Amino acid sequence: DFPWEIELAGEIPPATETLREVIVDAAGGEGVFTTLQAAMSDVVASDACARIIVREGHYGETVTIRFPVEIVADGEVTIESNEGAPIVSHKQNAILRGLTLVSGQDEEGDTMQGVYHEGFHLKLERCTIRSARCGVYAHTKNAFLVMEKCTIESAANSGVLLEDGAHASIVDTTIRKTGFAGILAKGDGELSIESSRIEDTKNSGLAVSEGVWLE
pLDDT digits (tens, 9 = 90+) for 141-198: 999 999 999 999 999 999 999 999 999 999 999 999 999 999 999 988 999 999 999 9
11-to-8, 17, 113, 156 alpha-carbon distances in Å = 10, 18, 51, 58
- The closest of 66, 67, 69 to 24, measured between CA atoms, is 69
pLDDT for the residue numbered 111: 97
One-letter amino acid at 83 equals E
Considering only CA atoms, which of 166, 165, 157 is closest in space to residue 204?
Answer: 157
What is the helix (H) or strand (E) element at residue 77, kind and residue range? strand 69-81
Per-residue confidence band for 210, with pLDDT thresholds at 50, 70 and 90:
confident
Please name the residue ranges forming H helices in the chain: 36-46
N-term to C-term CA, the chain: 33
127-138 mean pLDDT: 98
State the pLDDT at residue 139.
92
Residue 215 has pLDDT above 70, yes or no: yes
